Structure 1
Amino acid sequence: MTLPIPDTEAITAAVNTAHQAMLQVDGGKNADYIPYLASVPSGLAALAVVTREGTVVEAGDSRFAFAIESISKVATLALIMETIGRDALREKVGSDPTGLPFNSVMALELAQGKPMSPLVNAGAIATASLVEGATADARWDKILDMQSRLAGRPLSLSDEVNQSEQTTNFHNRAIAWLLYSAGTCYSDPMEALDIYTRQCSTLLDTVDLATMGATFANGGVNPKTGERVVSKDNVPPILAEMMMEGLYTFSGDFAYIVGLPGKSGVGGGMLAVAPGKLAIAAFAPPLDEAGNSVRALAGISAVAKSLNLDLFSA
């Protein structure tokens, strides 16, 4: 079913008003456990909408390139669904919210070593271990290609972000070995962790992020390039995963407040998808305790409300 898209004038008004509201929001702080993220100017704020037809509306620092971080988990999830199928991935990784922080070891232990979701660190490392390729570089190239096809332009790895992440990922190293000991890491654990860390270290801007979301809103077809990136049948389970675990321990609240599938990253990016209509992306570095951008949440919430996008509204 083709759904009506809000007109461009309404989207523009909503984005501009929401961006101004973002600038008034205080609180939060940059992620400081990754040195690169701590150095990003905390006053940046951006908002963008891309419709399923490719219309772009943007405001603020929308062309500032930031680290994709955990939003990359959605791209790798899509890649593996396309490769081995949704049912095979669900059997290996699971599809339930953990109710615990995104880097929780306890969640993995409580599930007897099987990660519960591909959108938390344990599940994302396991998902990365399923990428096919003879070498780590060959596997990484497939992930970067998927990210780029979703964004509609070539993305690239930031050596600075990657170095900052690779030298501080001690907690994730423990998770990778726990997965391996439980038989739920499907390649060498340190190689899987290396690939996962790289996938979090690419740079994109807020319009790129909104384009990624619009590809899912458009049933898997990138509205800018016209390329089918994800099969139509795989889009619903990807959005379901985002709804359940996309904002970690705040995911239920996000569904309650915004009513859309979403995904956040500790780089300050946040994405929400209105299926059949459009995607909203926002960026602002300061995070709340759950790891979600404080101002990005305010911006996305305001746009979704203004355009009546809540999926749970009658």
Structure 2
Amino acid sequence: MESPIQSYLQQIHTEIARLKGGKPYSTIPAMANVDPERFGIALATVDGQVYEVGDTRAEFTIQSISKPFTYGLALEDLGNDAVDAKVDVEPSGDSFNEISLAEGTGRPANAMINAGALTATSLIRGSGGQSSFKRILSTYSAFAGRQLSVDRKVFESELKHGHRNTALAHLLRSFNIIEDDPTPVLEDYFRQCSVLVNSFDLAIMAATLANGGKNPLTHRQVLGIGPVERVLSVMMTSGMYDDAGAWISSVGMPGKSGVAGGIIAVLPGQVGLAVYSPPLDEHGGSVRGLATAQRLSRDMELHFVRAARAGRSAILASYDVTETPSGIRRNAEAADVLRAHGHRARVVELNGDLLFAGTESMVRELSSLDDDVELVVLDLRRTDQVSGVAVRMLDEARTGLSSAGRELVLIEADGAVSESLGGC
């Protein structure tokens, strides 16, 4: 049986692909000839399950989505106080390339706008035989769970045409925010923006932030929880620049966009979302990326207000009926029948909350049942909160099982879920 989550992503991908607004970024010539129809969605859970649809393996440059990861590395290296002395944590309300510097000190408002990102890049020093940029690239690769590389053509194009960022770097140097020659900082910054990723990579990077800094595939602790907390906080308030208020209201997850068409969203403790679609809106965010994040937040109840409890697997136990303790005394013939056919009935015990993450673990279990399982008994007696998305996914799972000639039976204390499903 196909996962209801996979089916859902395919459905919204088809629907959102019809959106034709926006234009790809063209200020950097090497990025101007991208296919505007490219569109991929990847959703990664904190235990490493990835759902993907569309052009999720198409590579593009990370651009401004690099900013939170370099900022996190600076925080890990130097600590909050030292980084705060150079770059603030306040929303600027400005677009990504505005000159948003504090009067008198020149301190950028936050690390998500270009001035703050240049500052964060300037704080990374070489160490352990690695140059400053090699350390940045190694960090990105650890977040993604694979070795990443730089698009040389985009880097050279950024270096040649990035006049505003060059001006910002020299302005920051005049205030001693950047303490040395800004030229190497600019080169590192343009290189980090030119790192090649795909939607799958970004979903894992987002899920690593959602997982407290531990990569859900490699299980490597890439970033400490302190820096993760600060990074996600600044992403929430400032990651979408002058569209941050609308993003928080309609999506409700820390997010970050990039002018190549990538966008990520992070729901701590549960999932990381990545979308790639090059046409951008007036704020520099992907039109389809924003629509996808809004849709998932609403349909899957991922807004931080609704998904306040930490996500975890809802599976308490899963076994066939031959493993079920019983006080019934069976004769030899009945025992033989049970041994021969008991594997056709599967009992899945759930506990805790059925929010998105718990529901995802449940439907993953149901979707991976052996072909010879004919009866699924879902024991809900130990569950607490059952969200609307859980009921919808259960209904879709029941339909999927039924179409395959299987039956789903619920056991619960009050019958509320069965009633919502119209009897089950």
Partner of 2:72 in structure 1? 78
Partner of 2:32 in structure 1? 38
Compare relative contact order (CA 8 Å, sep 6+) and give the higher one, 1 or 2.
1
Between structures 1 and 2, the one with greater strand share: 2
**Deviation of the 1:306 alpha carbon:** 1.7
* Residues 10/243 of structure 1: CA separation in 2 closer, same or farther (3 Å cut): farther
Contact 1:14–1:306, Cα closer than 8 Å, also in 2: no
Partner of 1:3 in structure 2? none
Between structures 1 and 2, the one with greater helix share: 1
Partner of 1:4 in structure 2? none
Amino acid at match of 2:15: A
Q: Distance in 1 between matches of 2:5 and 2:242?
A: 29
* Residues 233/109 of structure 1: CA separation in 2 closer, same or farther (3 Å cut): closer
**1:238 has 2:234 as partner:** no
Partner of 2:147 in structure 1? 154
Partner of 1:227 in structure 2? 220
Pick from 18, 28, 33 the counterpart of residue 24 of structure 1.
Answer: 18
Partner of 1:5 in structure 2? none
Q: Secondary structure at the match of 2:215?
A: coil
Pick from 168, 178, 181 the counterpart of residue 185 of structure 1.
Answer: 178
Q: Mind listing any 5+ residue stretches in structure 1 that lack a counterpart? A: 1-7
Pick from 36, 47, 56 the counterpart of residue 50 of structure 2.
Answer: 56
**1:171 has 2:164 as partner:** yes
Q: Distance in 2 between matches of 1:264 and 1:10?
A: 28
Q: Mind listing any 5+ residue stretches in structure 2 that lack a counterpart? A: 309-424
Contact 2:102–2:109, Cα closer than 8 Å, also in 1: no
With structure 1 as the length reference, what TM-score do the two structures score? Answer: 0.94
Contact 1:47–1:60, Cα closer than 8 Å, also in 2: yes
Partner of 2:85 in structure 1? 91
* Residues 10/78 of structure 1: CA separation in 2 closer, same or farther (3 Å cut): farther
**Deviation of the 1:10 alpha carbon:** 4.2
With structure 2 as the length reference, what TM-score do the two structures score? Answer: 0.70
**Deviation of the 1:91 alpha carbon:** 2.3
Q: Distance in 1 between matches of 2:298 and 2:258?
A: 22
**1:290 has 2:283 as partner:** yes
Tell me the alpha carbon deviations over residues 94-146 of structure 1, each in whole angstroms, 9 at most, x when there is no partner. 101111111112x2264741111111100011111111128xx8111000001
**1:276 has 2:269 as partner:** yes
Tell me the alpha carbon deviations over residues 126-176 of structure 1, each in whole angstroms, 9 at most, x when there is no partner. 111111128xx8111000001100011000011011111111111111100
Partner of 1:196 in structure 2? 189
Tell me the alpha carbon deviations over residues 187-214 of structure 1, each in whole angstroms, 9 at most, x when there is no partner. 3211111111110001000000000000
Deviates more, 1:27-36 or 1:8-17: 8-17
Q: Distance in 2 between matches of 1:220 and 1:26?
A: 36
**Deviation of the 1:87 alpha carbon:** 2.6
Contact 1:18–1:299, Cα closer than 8 Å, also in 2: yes
Contact 1:46–1:284, Cα closer than 8 Å, also in 2: yes
**1:209 has 2:202 as partner:** yes
**Deviation of the 1:232 alpha carbon:** 1.5
Higher Cα Rg: structure 1 or 2?
2
Amino acid at match of 1:163: E
Q: Secondary structure at the match of 1:50?
A: strand
Q: How many residue pairs end up in the alignment?
A: 306
Q: Secondary structure at the match of 1:279?
A: strand
**Deviation of the 1:300 alpha carbon:** 1.7
Amino acid at match of 1:229: V
